[in-house]
Amino acid sequence: MSDHDQTPTSRRNPKRRGFPRRAASTEKPLSAREQRFVDEYLVDLKGEAAAIRAGYSPKTAKVQASQTLTRLNVQAAVEAGYKARQKRTQITGDATVRELNRLAHADIRQFYDEHGQLKPIHELPDDLAACISSIEVVKKNLTAGDGTLEYIYRIKLWNKPQALELLGRHQGIFREDQPSDAPDVPAFTLPPDTPGVRVH
């Protein structure tokens, strides 16, 4: 048998040895479908919906979105899209958290002056004005004999509990898997003769 005949099969077919493929790169240009997906994903950050709008089948959109978002070039394009939008709008994550903090910690007492009168809207500081969802003005005593006209102001603030929840999630307060400082205790630490304890 010649040396040629003794050549291992794996040398003749290196793919069977599991040789690594060419490393993924952030520099690889996006396909038209990938670019459409990135554009749609940046709208609402919903992968499945973005995949459907990008032309994928609704039946496979969830899987396609998950796979597409693992590609390095797509991740780089999404990150670049974030930064470009922040530059255009001047809205950053810090700005969003500051706005939530306004809503979460609004104090109704600050809407009134030292005499208990509601402050005019133009005198409210920005932090308070940003908390107002709507203002309703109701006229009262239109037919009163004294001719006095009164105004009732109904101020509705944005959802404070929701703002607190969102802010708490950002801070990691509402994690379901809260870390515990207590050490793990073995199940059979107590001796068998401990009163009130039965070991089976």
AA identity, residue 151: Y
pLDDT attached to residue 37: 93
pLDDT attached to residue 187: 44
> What phi-psi label fits residue 182: left (phi over 0), alpha (psi between -120 and 50 degrees) or beta?
beta
Alpha-helical segments (H) within 71-155: 72-89, 93-104, 126-129
Q: What are phi and psi of 130, to 5 degrees?
A: -70, -15
24: confidence class by pLDDT, cuts 50, 70, 90: low
pLDDT attached to residue 191: 52
The three-class DSSP label of residue 9 is helix
Residue 11 in any domain: the answer is no
What's the structural domain count of the chain? 2
Residue after which a domain boundary falls, among 70, 89, 108: 89
- Per residue in 33-55, pLDDT (tens digit) is 999 999 998 888 889 999 999 99
Show the domain range for 68.
25-89
Residue 35 in any domain: the answer is yes
73: confidence class by pLDDT, cuts 50, 70, 90: very high
Residue 4 in any domain: the answer is no
112 and 56 both lie in a single domain: no
Counting DSSP H helices and E strands in the chain, the numbers are 8, 2
The whole-angstrom distance between residue 37's C-alpha and the CA centroid of its chain comes to 19
199: confidence class by pLDDT, cuts 50, 70, 90: very low
CATH of the domain at 54: 1.10.10.1400
- Checking if the pLDDT of 140 tops 50, the result is yes
> What is the average pLDDT across 109-131?
87
d(CA 128, CA 118): 13
20: confidence class by pLDDT, cuts 50, 70, 90: very low
110 and 65 both lie in a single domain: no
- Checking if the pLDDT of 85 tops 90, the result is no
* Better-scored residue on pLDDT, 33 or 9: 33
Other beta carbons within 10 angstroms of residue 77's beta carbon come to: 21
- Checking if the pLDDT of 88 tops 70, the result is yes
AA identity, residue 131: C
Q: Rg of the Cα trace of the chain?
A: 32
The whole-angstrom distance between residue 61's C-alpha and the CA centroid of its chain comes to 21
3-state helix, strand, coil in the chain (%, to 5): 45, 10, 45
- Checking if the pLDDT of 180 tops 80, the result is no
